Structure 1
């Protein structure tokens, strides 16, 4: 959780004036569950090549925990990828959840690092495997990386491993994009690796206006500014809200304490 004192300390390290703090100075709303721990009310399911029905028990609820690709899974060894998505769109929020890796890995990634992610600012519409989004990467030793897909962002200026937050220095360029076969992507690396591979990790996302902060086990590791979405004609416009997705990516993972509050 980012406190006012922590925010001011990061701003001071980056040489940014402490006022005004804008919306982040106001008292945030109360935490409320985003996942109720009993069923999938408020969420939708998608799996590539299968659709919106969980045919193979990919996702299970066990004692309030969301378990992906656990022992109840009855599908093929090459588990198709997909996601669980909120039915609603969200903006101006602080998201928090905990995750823990399982041992099960599936083709074609049996030897890869375990991988999942939080996709945010996802528009409503047709469901497909790599939707337009900003990805908050959850991956062994890479948790907190940002991958905008047909979105783009200006990386926060880093001062000795401290990404500027909540305001960036003016005049910074957008990160370069690569063509990933039908979509444009940026790769914005996290500052440091603070995840554990064996226990529970807490990850947080602050989405404030067209900015975002990625927090891993209490440390801001990545900040993004000037978030924009690309339309069908290739033009960009600011984006401040969208659905929130949890990825299914060939690795067993548990999620718990999925909660959100307004800024």
Structure 2
């Protein structure tokens, strides 16, 4: 399959069928599906700052099942950040994907760490830079961090170096860390525990998101846990944050994604996780 522009192209050959779970390192085939639709332009949106909602410069292409951001095919004069996002809102799910960085980096981050992220629990509003969301950070050295963009969470305390999961203990503090305000955006930054990323190879990351909590895994290890996910209005009232769109971020660095899989978690699966820590 030749390289093709993301929006308006058919990627049925790359995403039209489901691979067996055993080929993806997934314990069971049950319930897993590709998050990409066979027609990417139907199931996903594109956004790049200063460019808009059409991929005019081949910022995102798909070849042999690999989603490629800002590679040699990119024709833009700079590499302003953006993302591709599902049109559908997701709640109560287990997301799994693989990512690997390429070599190209773009000003003003030509000498900085390569950076990207998974954005989740995004709202239904029109795509824009820095949408309200939770970011599963994929920046080199910070993989697994959680950045709360105009959202809130309590970070699971580290118990013997391992983030608390899956049940919140009522004895722990329940006051949200006050966000840092910059550029009109409020952010909390919750740091990961443990270094498991591979700098120049494929990495597998997992996101468990159900009810108002989430866990970030890097190559099979939990590194960050979040509880009591919420939004807060101008009057200080909080509302649980339990669902939203999912996005993959492009941010001044070449990066590739593959095997982007998701499985819904029903009430039985959630109960099993709360009891056993996995499902």
Q: TM-score, normalised by structure 1?
A: 0.86
Pairing partner for 1:231 from 196, 212, 233: 233
Q: Which residue of 2 aligns with 1:22?
A: none
Pairing partner for 1:178 from 150, 157, 180: 180
Q: Which residue of 1 aligns with 2:198?
A: 196
1:236-251 matches, cutoff 5 A = 236-251=238-253
Pairwise CA RMSD of aligned residues? 1.7
* CA displacement at 1:39 relative to structure 2: 4.2
Runs of 4+ in 1 over 4 A off after TM superposition: 36-40
Structure 2, unaligned runs of 5 or more: 1-27, 266-279
Q: Which residue of 2 aligns with 1:61?
A: 62
Q: Residues 162 and 28 of structure 1: is their aligned pair in 2 closer, same or farther, counting only changes over 3 Å?
A: farther
* CA displacement at 1:125 relative to structure 2: 1.1
Write the distance in 2 (CA, Å) between the matches of 1:67 and 1:127.
20
Write the distance in 1 (CA, Å) between the matches of 2:31 and 2:239.
31
Q: Which residue of 2 aligns with 1:163?
A: 163
1:201-212 matches, cutoff 5 A = 201-212=203-214
Write the distance in 1 (CA, Å) between the matches of 2:130 and 2:196.
26
Q: Which residue of 1 aligns with 2:117?
A: 117
* CA displacement at 1:232 relative to structure 2: 5.4
Write the distance in 1 (CA, Å) between the matches of 2:105 and 2:42.
27
Q: Residues 38 and 66 of structure 1: is their aligned pair in 2 closer, same or farther, counting only changes over 3 Å?
A: farther
Pairing partner for 1:216 from 202, 215, 218: 218
Write the distance in 2 (CA, Å) between the matches of 1:45 and 1:118.
14
3-state SS, counterpart of residue 139 of structure 1 = coil
3-state SS, counterpart of residue 118 of structure 2 = strand
Q: Which residue of 2 aligns with 1:85?
A: 85
Write the distance in 2 (CA, Å) between the matches of 1:96 and 1:54.
25
* CA displacement at 1:87 relative to structure 2: 0.6
- Per-residue deviation, residues 199-249 of structure 1 (Å, max 9, x unmatched): 000001000100000000000000000000133555321110000011010
- Per-residue deviation, residues 24-63 of structure 1 (Å, max 9, x unmatched): xxx9951000025774441110011111000000000010
Write the distance in 2 (CA, Å) between the matches of 1:216 and 1:38.
29
Instruction: Decide whether the 8 Å contact of 1:230 with 1:237 is kept in 2.
Output: yes
Instruction: Decide whether the 8 Å contact of 1:37 with 1:66 is kept in 2.
Output: no
Q: Which has the higher contact order (CA 8 A, sep 6+)?
A: 1
Structure 1, unaligned runs of 5 or more: 1-26
Write the distance in 1 (CA, Å) between the matches of 2:123 and 2:235.
16
Instruction: Decide whether the 8 Å contact of 1:28 with 1:261 is kept in 2.
Output: no
Write the distance in 1 (CA, Å) between the matches of 2:129 and 2:147.
15
Write the distance in 2 (CA, Å) between the matches of 1:100 and 1:259.
16
- Per-residue deviation, residues 129-153 of structure 1 (Å, max 9, x unmatched): 0000000000112100000011000
Q: Which residue of 1 aligns with 2:10?
A: none
Q: How many aligned residue pairs are there?
A: 236
Write the distance in 2 (CA, Å) between the matches of 1:188 and 1:35.
29
